[in-house]
């Protein structure tokens, strides 16, 4: 075996260039308006519709080392937070270009590394001034009043015939709103605009809220705003204040509201406002998340009788079920477990649906040949028949009979199996009025185990009375089996009293979009989860990035004094000459780092179509940057001018009135982690000077490539 | 019919080191290891070129394990470095660079190998005996009553591996954790000889480094399903433990070749399961509370045990077996027959814990000398590098407790040693033992080669085009920006020496390392006792560096001594 070693930095840094070109592909996924892409496999003519950085990288051939590191970083971010991947991808590209620029300017690699990481850490510290605490409101009456509109939905969800939440909500709102203009509806939730069903349908393609709608619908919304929404805003605590008052940033990091008789600390107490802010334009997904969170909270609070707004959201108790081919309006949230079974079982389910079922949970497969993990089969054992009198039934049939015996003995009429189920068993059980469902998710199994008192076992033979749970109900999803027929399957719901499991049913007419829908639901779900878990959010819509940009510019101007040089230089090796030449190169590197934020913001504005060109966007940012600097305190400037900045990025100055622009929020840790991961990746690649390829023979190399390699 | 083929003649090459190809590959290898060295060292991407996993590293053990070298000379070199690393963890790159440097520099002298080897040995013993004397100016005794030196040592190791991607704050956090983990492995009741416990590194990838932590006892990862099946643990003083290394999965033990024929109605599986359940009954009657198995436990046996309120933990893995057996005092049980009561052990408590997305059993033993270091890092490649580095640091601390000395880092030890040797051979030749095997000129030639090999290691710390200076008093390393004016007021340009012990305010004379050095007697920089106040030192492990020095010189001698390479081509 031959080891080849390829030097990466001859004249240009190949790794950084690769990184920025990969990132370029994900540029359009930045921001709330994501344009979808088709990835086409030229060999087998398959194509995938994607609209996120994660799916993009999944579908690209990234066999190069840098590509793999990039994809690894994006996957890790996604696995952990389900959000921030596009940010990671974009910043990795922007900063790799920045690092390359520094190399061109002759900055030593070690200094780029230390100044850039120091710069980012300083930015992350700085943006804590834009954190908004999320706290539960102390006055509960306020809560119930706010969510009265949604209360009805929760009630309907409790029945076995859940009305799709959209219709439920709209019916309710139409009663409250202006009946004369059915195309415009208002929400009873203050400050939380809800689209009407009509608007929803006309632009089924673009799942956008009012901030990102096309000009025509914008006019509609404006009309709605002026006519209907203003009174509703009376309920909102902070929107009322904002008009007259000024925000300043307190040294403790949180925002303080000045000007009122007693200073209030700015808090986000309104769940609806939080959700709207975190939805980033994906209102329909966030509505499902909201319903799931409420349902979960209702399940938890069932003994207390009254459900307040949920202030925690446990995503492990949420499960999605995709039903492609159905109209989008049928998407809803159901208590319990929704799954798809074959229509051949219609009669069985009709029979079982008014009973409380006894359930057994099987961890493995329900097949004759299944053995638990770690069991090694001996290949050389054969069984011989000693007597011809033994009846000729196959071992499969014997085994099936055995399974059935167990089920009869313990009176089990529902079997949930984590693995696959033998056809034969399903068939036999159907005849004896027992329902067997395979491929059940592990967390669903656990939820059933907890709620029904069943114990999971590996083999059916292990089932004892103690392992059998009870009280499970089965029903058709949406009352009639025919109503949800796709080809040969139908959806059913399984639930039991006190089960902490919520299934989000996602429907859509276009099968290719299902993956995207599911991804977007989870993105919203994770955002809400982290926002409630961390009890704080960032003021979003580019505000944090803008502050980073402005902060880095102020760092550039700040002279380094000797004291800071050693402690904040970020250099591990303070005795090196690099420490003393830090002052010389620091402004250059910080400027390059800042240019990454600048590119991010202008790409964001360009993507949301709020500026005709990136140049225009850039000029807008530059203008505000100057004003922020002139104001003396960039973070206060951002708070005061938030609406204008926000409108520049999202709303293109449709209105200068603060109350008409809902705040956009971002989750804190997922966002800063995405930045860190992006920079870590860039710095890792920057510091790499050669690639060592193991196990590559001379013959596999093309002659022109071989020149670049050194062999050992 | 068998076919006979004539054997190919063996291939014999004389004077392998003179071949152009060998020199080229040696210089490629030297380039790789040299560019990795130090805190600003460059990283290497290791991958198979076919989409396998990519690791970014500058760690000698990761690097050398993945380099597939073909030439026997390179193999000698990499193998001896790997041997050194497997014994001492640290100073692998140092050893490799020094060895390459020595071969290169010594060859340029053009002397015959026997003389060179003799002189190299002589100079090596000069170095080792100097390092071992009290008077040695580049070593510091470790004071175990304070954590300062130990923390500096750990921090130096962490900063020397940039692929860990740690910030200053994270380095401080991890250094503290490593030191805590190490201290937890020291038994409280020290007798004549101490047996150190073990720190187990538990992976938690994807989390922030700051989330890393140390816990006394052992963490065993488990699934959430397993967690649910655990019954509330009985409250008592301690839990009785049985530990199995045999598989309890219920499969047949290896039946060997041939076919086993069994009659209809006989089930071997059931027979084995019956045996397992008998074992279970014995465990119940012996009042065992906790059963752990390296491999898999049959679900039916688990069910049986759980019915009798015995906690069963399976798939513990081979890595945890030894620490588990130590802390619980159990004898791992290897058969399904009856269990001798002496095999059982005990633990103080068992609880469950969740970190990130992972669930763990947390085993708290009676006497803790085992701890778990839960290590987090953002991405896989940085985690792997961090794990290797932490293992190195833990090992180095163990070596340091055995030999409570540290060497000055940042290249200062190398230049100081070089200055010492030069001084000895040029200024005090009479103090050296007389040997008629070489002339004085030869001695001076080889000394120059040996010293410049040592000094260029210090030079290898520089990767951004800076220049290295050395002072004429202590023989420490100083770095300065390239193309600085040659006649300058040096103190304006310099701040501290490589290890951080001296500063430029003192009246010193400096000279470029690459220029000709004049011999002088290097002094010790330590005003003894003041070491405690210096808190930002770069330090190296004494034992590992000493061994590295010896391995490098001996390997170089071995390679220089090779006159034929005979390859069997069959």
Chain A residue with CA closest to B300: the answer is: A462
Full-model pTM: 0.84
Report the percentage of chain A scoring pLDDT > 70.
67
What is the mean predicted confidence (pLDDT) over B186-198?
Answer: 82
pLDDT of residue A433: 92
Contact list, B314 vs chain A (CB under 8 Å): 374
B48 closest CB neighbour out of A111, A387, A693: A693
pLDDT digits (tens, 9 = 90+) for B375-393: 999 888 999 999 999 999 9
For residue A289, what pLDDT band results from cuts at 50, 70 and 90?
very high
B43 closest CB neighbour out of A676, A680, A687: A687
pLDDT digits (tens, 9 = 90+) for A556-570: 887 765 444 444 445
Cα-flanking dihedrals φ and ψ of residue B507, to 5°? -75, 100
pLDDT digits (tens, 9 = 90+) for B127-145: 999 999 998 989 999 988 8
pLDDT digits (tens, 9 = 90+) for B248-260: 988 876 666 777 7
Full set of structural domains in chain A with CATH: 4-132+540-693 (1.10.560.10), 337-371+391-500 (3.50.7.10)
For residue B269, what pLDDT band results from cuts at 50, 70 and 90?
confident
pLDDT of residue A636: 83
- Least confident among A139-148, A627-636, B163-172: A139-148
Q: What angle do CA A523, A526, A531 make, to 5 degrees?
A: 125
Handedness of CA A435, A441, A443, A446 (dihedral sign): positive
Closest C-alpha among B90, B154, B43, B56 to residue B382: B56
Residues in chain A: 712
| Other CB atoms within 10 Å distance of the CB of residue A115 | 25
Is it the case that residue A657 has pLDDT exceeding 60? Answer: no
Yes or no, beta carbons of B225 and A681 under 8 Å apart: no
Bridge pairing between strands B11-14 and A709-711: unpaired
**Rounded Cα distance, B425 and B126, in Å:** 10
- Least confident among A71-85, A171-185, A383-397: A171-185
A556 at B interface, C-beta within 8 A:
no
Chain B residue with CA closest to A103: the answer is: B464
Q: Which residues are CB-neighbours of B554 under 8 A, at least 6 positions away? A: B80, B124
A575 closest CB neighbour out of B208, B493, B496: B496
A580 at B interface, C-beta within 8 A:
yes
pLDDT digits (tens, 9 = 90+) for A20-37: 999 988 888 887 777 788
B263 closest CB neighbour out of A72, A111, A386: A386
Is it the case that residue B200 has pLDDT exceeding 80? Answer: yes
H/E segment holding residue A465 = none
**Rounded Cα distance, B92 and B72, in Å:** 19
Closest C-alpha among A441, A199, A207, A466 to residue A358: A466
Q: Which of residues 289-318 of A touch B (CB under 8 A)?
A: none
- Least confident among A140-154, A265-279, B358-372, B460-474: A140-154
**Rounded Cα distance, B459 and B414, in Å:** 10
Yes or no, beta carbons of A696 and B48 under 8 Å apart: yes
Yes or no, beta carbons of A382 and B68 under 8 Å apart: no
Contact list, B171 vs chain A (CB under 8 Å): 572
What is the mean predicted confidence (pLDDT) over A545-566?
Answer: 76
For residue A683, what pLDDT band results from cuts at 50, 70 and 90?
very high
A456 closest CB neighbour out of B165, B225, B252: B225
| Maximum C-alpha span of chain B | 99
B47 closest CB neighbour out of A65, A576, A689: A65
pLDDT of residue A93: 95
Segments making up each domain of chain B, as ranges:
12-37+69-138+408-567, 218-367
Q: Determine the angle formed by the axes of helices B440-459 and B412-422, rounding to 10 degrees.
A: 170
A349 with A343: CB under 8 angstroms? no
Yes or no, beta carbons of A692 and B32 under 8 Å apart: yes
B51 closest CB neighbour out of A63, A113, A688: A63
H/E segment holding residue A264 = strand A264-265
pLDDT of residue B411: 92
Q: What angle do CA A198, A202, A207 make, to 5 degrees?
A: 100
pLDDT of residue A486: 54
What is the mean predicted confidence (pLDDT) over B473-495?
Answer: 79
Q: What angle do CA B336, B339, B340 make, to 5 degrees?
A: 150
Pick the CATH number of B218-367 from 3.40.50.1240, 3.50.7.10, 3.40.50.300, 3.40.50.720: 3.50.7.10
pLDDT of residue B511: 85
Tokens of B550: 């010896």
**Rounded Cα distance, A416 and A595, in Å:** 55
pLDDT of residue B394: 96
Is it the case that residue A223 has pLDDT exceeding 80? Answer: no
Yes or no, beta carbons of A383 and B497 under 8 Å apart: no
Tell me if residue A468 falls in helix, strand or coil. coil
Tell me if residue A506 falls in helix, strand or coil. strand
**Rounded Cα distance, B406 and B140, in Å:** 5
Q: Which of residues 431-460 of A touch B (CB under 8 A)?
A: 442-443, 445-446, 449-450, 455-459
- Least confident among A392-396, A642-646, B69-73: A642-646
Yes or no, beta carbons of B49 and A376 under 8 Å apart: no
For residue A263, what pLDDT band results from cuts at 50, 70 and 90?
very low
A341 with A527: CB under 8 angstroms? no
Tokens of A695: 């196990």
A709 with A5: CB under 8 angstroms? yes
pLDDT of residue B506: 72
What is the mean predicted confidence (pLDDT) over B524-535?
Answer: 60
pLDDT of residue A155: 27
For residue A655, what pLDDT band results from cuts at 50, 70 and 90?
very low
- Residue with the bigger pLDDT between A574 and A179: it is A574
Q: Which residues are CB-neighbours of B1 under 8 A, at least 6 positions away? A: none
Is it the case that residue A653 has pLDDT exceeding 80? Answer: no
Chain B residue with CA closest to A578: the answer is: B481
What is the mean predicted confidence (pLDDT) over B194-199?
Answer: 87
Chain A residue with CA closest to B306: the answer is: A455
pLDDT of residue A39: 83
For residue B106, what pLDDT band results from cuts at 50, 70 and 90?
very high
ipTM of the complex, rounded to two decimals? 0.91
Q: Report DSSP state, residue B531.
A: G
B261 with A384: CB under 8 angstroms? yes
pLDDT of residue A312: 81
B72 with A698: CB under 8 angstroms? no
pLDDT of residue B37: 94
Report the percentage of chain B scoring pLDDT > 90.
52
Domain B12-37+69-138+408-567 sits in which CATH superfamily? GroEL-like equatorial domain (1.10.560.10)
B341 with B286: CB under 8 angstroms? yes
Q: Give how far B512 is from chain A: nearest CA, Å.
A: 14
Mean pLDDT for all residues in chain B: 88
- Residue with the bigger pLDDT between B358 and A157: it is B358
- Residue with the bigger pLDDT between A393 and A695: it is A695
Fold: same for B12-37+69-138+408-567 and B218-367: no
Helix residue ranges, H only, A82-164: 85-104, 109-126, 140-146, 148-158
Mutate which of A575, A585, A672 to disrupt the B interface (most B C-beta within 10 Å)? Answer: A575
Yes or no, beta carbons of B32 and A2 under 8 Å apart: no
Closest C-alpha among A546, A687, A621, A679 to residue A121: A679
Yes or no, beta carbons of B538 and A443 under 8 Å apart: no
Tokens of B188: 């409280």
pLDDT digits (tens, 9 = 90+) for A169-214: 333 333 333 333 333 222 333 333 333 333 223 233 333 333 333 3
What is the mean predicted confidence (pLDDT) over A516-543?
Answer: 91
Yes or no, beta carbons of A687 and B249 under 8 Å apart: no
**Rounded Cα distance, A36 and A401, in Å:** 52
């Amino acid at each position: 075996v031959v080891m080849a070693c390829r030097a990466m930095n001859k004249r240009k840094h190949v790794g950084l260039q690769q990184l920025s070109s990969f990132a370029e592909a994900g540029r359009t996924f930045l921001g709330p308006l994501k344009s979808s892409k088709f990835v086409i496999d030229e060999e087998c003519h398959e194509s995938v519709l994607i609209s996120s950085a994660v799916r993009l990288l999944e579908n690209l051939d990234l066999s190069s080392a840098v590509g793999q590191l990039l994809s690894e970083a994006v996957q890790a971010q996604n696995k952990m937070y389900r959000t921030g991947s596009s940010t990671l991808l974009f910043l990795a590209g922007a900063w790799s270009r920045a690092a390359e620029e520094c190399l061109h300017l002759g900055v030593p690699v070690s200094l780029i590394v230390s100044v850039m990481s120091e710069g980012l850490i300083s930015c992350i510290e700085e943006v804590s001034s834009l954190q908004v605490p999320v706290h539960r409101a102390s006055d509960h009456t306020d809560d119930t009043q706010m969510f009265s509109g949604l209360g009805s939905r929760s009630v309907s969800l409790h029945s076995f015939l859940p009305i799709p939440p959209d219709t439920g909500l709209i019916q309710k709102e139409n009663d409250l709103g202006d009946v004369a203009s059915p195309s415009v509806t208002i929400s009873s939730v203050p400050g939380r605009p809800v689209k009407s069903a009509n608007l929803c349908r006309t632009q089924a393609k673009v799942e956008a809220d009012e901030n990102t709608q096309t000009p025509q619908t914008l006019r509609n919304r404006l009309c709605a705003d002026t006519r209907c929404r203003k009174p509703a805003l009376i309920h909102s605590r902070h929107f009322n204040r904002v008009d007259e008052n000024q925000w300043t940033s307190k040294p403790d990091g949180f925002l303080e509201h000045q000007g009122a008789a007693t200073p209030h600390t700015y808090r986000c107490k309104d769940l609806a406002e939080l959700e709207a802010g975190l939805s980033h334009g994906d209102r329909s997904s966030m509505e499902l998340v909201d319903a799931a969170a409420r349902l979960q909270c209702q399940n938890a609070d069932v003994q207390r009788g009254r459900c307040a707004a949920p202030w925690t959201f446990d995503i492990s108790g949420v499960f999605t079920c995709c039903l492609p081919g159905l109209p989008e309006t049928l998407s809803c949230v159901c208590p319990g477990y929704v799954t798809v079974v074959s229509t051949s079982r219609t009669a069985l389910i009709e029979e079982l649906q008014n009973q409380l079922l006894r359930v057994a949970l099987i961890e493995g497969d329900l097949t004759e040949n299944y053995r638990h993990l770690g069991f090694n089969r001996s290949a050389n054992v054969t069984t011989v028949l000693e007597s011809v009198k033994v009846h000729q039934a196959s071992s499969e049939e014997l085994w099936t009979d055995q399974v059935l015996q167990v089920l009869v003995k313990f009176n089990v009429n529902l079997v949930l199996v984590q693995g696959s189920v033998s056809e034969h068993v399903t068939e036999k059980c159907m005849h004896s009025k027992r329902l067997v469902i395979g491929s059940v998710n592990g967390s669903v199994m656990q939820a059933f185990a907890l709620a029904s008192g069943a114990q999971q076992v590996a083999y059916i033979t292990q089932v004892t009375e103690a392992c059998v749970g009870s009280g499970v109900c089965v029903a058709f999803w949406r009352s009639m089996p025919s109503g949800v027929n796709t080809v040969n399957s139908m959806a059913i719901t399984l639930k039991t009293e006190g089960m902490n499991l919520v299934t989000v049913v996602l429907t859509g007419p276009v099968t290719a979009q299902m993956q995207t829908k599911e991804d977007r639901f989870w993105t919203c779900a994770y955002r809400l989860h982290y926002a409630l878990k961390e009890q704080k959010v960032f003021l979003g819509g580019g505000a944090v990035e803008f502050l980073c940009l402005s902060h880095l510019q102020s760092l550039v101007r700040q002279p380094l004094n000797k004291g800071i040089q050693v402690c904040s230089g970020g250099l591990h090796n303070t005795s090196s000459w690099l420490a003393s030449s830090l002052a010389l190169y620091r402004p250059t590197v910080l400027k390059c780092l800042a240019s990454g934020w600048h590119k991010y913001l202008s790409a964001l504005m360009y993507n949301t179509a709020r500026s005709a060109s990136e140049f225009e966007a850039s000029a807008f940012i530059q203008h505000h940057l100057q004003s922020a600097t002139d104001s003396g305190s960039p973070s206060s400037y951002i708070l005061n001018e938030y609406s204008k900045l926000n409108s520049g990025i999202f709303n293109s100055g449709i209105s200068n009135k603060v109350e008409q622009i809902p705040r956009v929020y971002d989750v804190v840790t997922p966002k800063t982690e995405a930045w860190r991961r992006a920079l870590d990746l860039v710095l890792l690649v920057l510091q790499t000077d050669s690639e060592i390829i193991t196990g590559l023979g001379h013959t596999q190399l093309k002659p022109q490539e071989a020149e670049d390699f050194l062999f050992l | 019919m068998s076919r006979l083929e004539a054997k190919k003649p063996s291939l014999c090459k004389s004077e392998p080191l003179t071949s152009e190809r060998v020199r080229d590959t040696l210089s490629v290898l030297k380039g790789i290891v040299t560019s990795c060295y130090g805190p600003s060292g460059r990283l290497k991407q290791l991958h198979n070129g076919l989409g396998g996993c990519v690791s970014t590293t500058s760690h000698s053990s990761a690097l050398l394990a993945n380099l597939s070298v073909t030439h026997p000379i390179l193999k000698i070199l990499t193998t001896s470095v790997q041997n050194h690393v497997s014994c001492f963890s640290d100073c692998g790159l140092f050893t490799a660079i020094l060895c390459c440097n020595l071969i290169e520099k010594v060859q340029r002298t053009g002397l015959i190998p026997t003389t060179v080897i003799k002189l190299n040995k002589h100079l090596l013993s000069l170095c080792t005996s100097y390092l071992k004397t009290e008077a040695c100016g580049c070593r510091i005794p470790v004071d175990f009553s304070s954590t300062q030196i130990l923390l500096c040592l750990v921090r130096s190791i962490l900063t020397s591996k940039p692929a860990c991607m740690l910030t200053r704050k994270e380095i401080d956090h991890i250094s503290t954790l490593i030191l805590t983990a190490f201290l937890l492995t020291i038994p409280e009741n020290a007798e004549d000889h101490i047996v150190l416990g073990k720190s187990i590194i538990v992976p938690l990838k994807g989390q922030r480094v700051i989330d890393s932590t140390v816990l006394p006892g052992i963490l065993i990862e488990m699934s959430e399903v397993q967690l649910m099946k655990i019954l509330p643990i009985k409250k008592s003083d301690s839990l009785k433990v049985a530990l199995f290394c045999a598989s309890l999965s219920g499969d047949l033990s290896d039946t060997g070749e041939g076919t086993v024929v069994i009659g209809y109605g006989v089930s071997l599986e059931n027979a084995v399961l019956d045996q397992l359940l008998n074992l279970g009954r014995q465990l119940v009657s012996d009042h065992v509370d906790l059963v752990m198995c390296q491999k898999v436990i049959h679900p039916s046996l688990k069910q049986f045990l759980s019915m009798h309120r015995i906690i069963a933990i399976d798939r513990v893995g081979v890595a945890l077996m030894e620490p588990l057996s130590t802390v619980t005092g159990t004898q791992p049980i290897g058969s399904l027959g009856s269990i001798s009561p002496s095999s059982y052990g005990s633990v103080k408590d068992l609880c469950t814990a969740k970190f990130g997305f992972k669930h763990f059993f947390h085993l708290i033993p009676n006497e803790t000398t085992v701890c778990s270091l839960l290590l987090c890092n953002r991405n896989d490649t940085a985690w792997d590098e961090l794990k290797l580095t932490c293992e190195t640091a833990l090992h180095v601390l163990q070596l340091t407790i055995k030999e409570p000395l540290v060497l000055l880092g940042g290249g200062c030890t190398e230049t100081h040693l070089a200055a010492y040797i030069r001084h000895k051979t040029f200024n005090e030749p009479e103090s050296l033992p007389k040997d008629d095997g070489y002339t004085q000129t030869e001695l001076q030639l080889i000394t120059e080669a040996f010293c410049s090999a040592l000094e260029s290691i210090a030079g290898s710390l520089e990767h951004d085009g800076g220049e290295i200076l050395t002072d004429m008093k202590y023989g420490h390393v100083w770095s300065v920006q390239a193309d600085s004016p040659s006649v300058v007021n040096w103190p304006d340009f310099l701040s501290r020496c490589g290890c951080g012990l001296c500063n430029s305010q003192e009246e010193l004379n400096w000279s470029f390392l690459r220029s000709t050095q004049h011999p002088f007697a290097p002094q010790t920089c330590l005003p003894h006792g003041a070491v405690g106040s210096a808190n930002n030192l770069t330090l190296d492990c004494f034992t590992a560096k000493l061994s590295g020095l010896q391995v490098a010189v001996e390997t170089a001698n071995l390679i220089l001594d090779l006159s034929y390479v005979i390859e069997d081509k069959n």
